[in-house]
């Protein structure tokens, strides 16, 4: 089971980073849950709940009485303790016995996926530890949580491959449906029906998944499909992903809508598309463990700008996992908003998108998004890379 796999991985990370104890502390997780909790539990919890893992290998789940049986059924923890009246007693019993010098807690200034504990729960935790004289050992868990999320196990990669396969199949299904006069909203509705047929949920908010953009002066990324119709002579691109076993895909594909009499895309459209494909290919070849994300971003960014196009206004690629945007390390430039994320060394098992874009004047946006996994000596395609512009025939 994936949770048992990730709990064992987490204990190994505690030893690797020489951290005595890691606590994930939450309540009412259905409305205010820690993003790490999905690696540790299979369902939401109601009362105060602590998952406590130690470097020694001892593992504990302290849960409300009504959550006890479902957590026991996971067979992921050495001890499952429950309470009715007070969380304090079982928690302090465990912590008194463990007596850790360092206690990693899920907060971070820079990484949203590691910043799971609410302020109120943090204050509660500090008070409980202070009563034991252990509050001085609290540290950020961002290094630990980042590694747990980004070092994908074979089971995680297998689920993502399945999600990618479904996404690519839906791209193939929608291609014949696209034609001049169809609106972005109609195309998106067709793809939603295909996802329903496959029985898969969307990788992000269904209001903007898929995102469909046709022609010049479109709203750009992260905007819902509109009633704008497809027109001959325009570029159309779409951003789409689904989930399989709670793991995401995130891909983009670019189409050109042929005008009457055209048998292929005009030179400026083809050149834009080819430049994007070259940027992705060069970036993929540059990926290997130990290289920093900013270096990979620079490779692709240089391909785009050297061809005379403006640099794309975002990072080259983000991690993908249980969320479409996941993980801390980023393939991005040294911009203030990205903080230290572009400077984390790449590690085996990280899954990234590669998604440069550029404008084709009067035609639209050329962009492709692929997914790769970092391997021991480079990177491997998870998606089937789009090498040819997808042509929509006039009819």
pLDDT interval class at 16 (50, 70, 90): very high
Number of structural domains in the chain: 2
> pLDDT tens digits, residue range 163-211?
999 999 999 999 999 999 999 999 999 999 999 999 999 999 999 999 9
Higher pLDDT, 1 or 34: 34
Identify whether residues 196 and 224 lie together within a single domain.
Answer: yes
Task: Give the mean model confidence (pLDDT) for residues 327-345.
Answer: 95
Q: Are residues 226 and 345 in the same domain?
A: yes
Q: Which residues contact 288 (CB under 8 A, 6 or more apart)?
A: 346, 374, 377, 378, 379
pLDDT of residue 101: 97
Point out which residues pair with 103 in neighbouring strands.
21, 138
Tens of pLDDT, residue by residue over 198-255, are 999 999 999 999 999 999 876 566 678 999 999 999 999 999 999 999 999 999 999 9
Q: How far is residue 216's CA from residue 296's CA, in Å, rounded to a whole number?
A: 29
Please state, in angstroms and rounded to a whole number, the distance separating the CA atoms of residues 309 and 360: 9
Q: Is residue 7 domain-shared with residue 90, that is, in the same domain?
A: yes
pTM of the predicted model as reported, rounded to 2 decimal places: 0.93
Model confidence over 80-134: pLDDT tens digits? 999 999 999 999 999 999 999 999 999 998 888 899 999 999 999 999 999 999 9
Helix, strand or coil, per DSSP, at residue 250: coil
If asked whether residues 145 and 177 sit together in one domain, one would say no
121 and 159 assigned to the same domain = no
Domain closes at, from 87, 119, 149 = 149
Q: Note down the domain range covering 52.
A: 2-149
CATH number of the domain enclosing 84: 3.40.350.10
CATH, residue 223: 3.90.230.10
State how far the Cα of 88 lies from the Cα of 121, in Å rounded to an integer. 13
- Tell me how far apart the alpha carbons of residues 138 and 342 are, in angstroms, rounded to a whole number: 26
Beta-bridge partners for 372: 352, 381
């Amino acid at each position: 089971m994936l949770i048992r796999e990730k709990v064992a991985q987490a204990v190994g990370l505690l030893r690797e980073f020489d951290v005595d104890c890691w606590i994930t502390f939450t309540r009412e997780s259905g409305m205010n849950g820690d993003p790490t909790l999905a690696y540790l539990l299979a369902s939401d919890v109601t009362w105060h709940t602590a998952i406590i893992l130690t470097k020694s290998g001892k593992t504990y789940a302290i849960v409300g009485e009504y959550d006890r049986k479902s957590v026991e059924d996971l067979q992921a923890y050495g001890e499952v303790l429950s309470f009715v009246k007070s969380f304090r007693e079982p928690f302090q019993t465990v912590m008194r016995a463990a007596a850790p010098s360092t206690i990693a807690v899920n907060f971070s200034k820079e990484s949203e996926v590691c910043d799971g504990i609410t302020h109120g729960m943090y204050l509660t935790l500090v008070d409980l530890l202070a009563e034991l004289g252990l509050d001085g050992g609290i540290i950020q868990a961002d290094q630990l949580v980042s590694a747990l999320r980004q070092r994908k196990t074979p089971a995680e990669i297998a689920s993502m491959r399945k999600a990618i396969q479904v996404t690519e199949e839906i791209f193939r299904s929608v291609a014949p449906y696209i034609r001049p006069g169809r609106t972005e909203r109609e195309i998106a509705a067709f793809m939603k029906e295909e996802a329903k047929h496959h029985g898969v949920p969307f990788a992000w908010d269904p209001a903007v998944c898929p995102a469909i953009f046709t022609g010049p002066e479109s709203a750009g990324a992260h905007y819902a499909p509109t009633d704008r119709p497809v027109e001959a002579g325009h570029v159309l691109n779409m951003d789409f992903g689904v989930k399989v076993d709670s793991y995401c895909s995130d891909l983009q594909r670019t189409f050109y809508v042929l005008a009457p009499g055209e048998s292929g895309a005009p030179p400026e459209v083809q050149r834009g598309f080819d430049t994007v494909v070259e940027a992705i290919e060069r970036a993929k070849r540059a990926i290997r463990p130990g290289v920093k994300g900013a270096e990979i971003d620079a490779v692709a960014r240089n391909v785009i700008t050297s061809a005379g196009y403006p640099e794309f206004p975002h990072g080259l690629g983000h991690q993908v996992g249980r969320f479409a945007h996941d993980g801390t390390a980023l393939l991005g430039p040294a911009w203030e908003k990205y903080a230290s994320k572009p400077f984390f060394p790449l590690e085996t098992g990280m899954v990234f998108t590669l998604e440069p874009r550029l404008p084709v004047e009067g035609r639209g946006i050329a962009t492709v998004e692929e997914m790769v996994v970092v391997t021991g000596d480079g990177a491997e395609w998870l998606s089937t890379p789009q090498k040819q512009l997808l042509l929509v025939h006039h009819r």
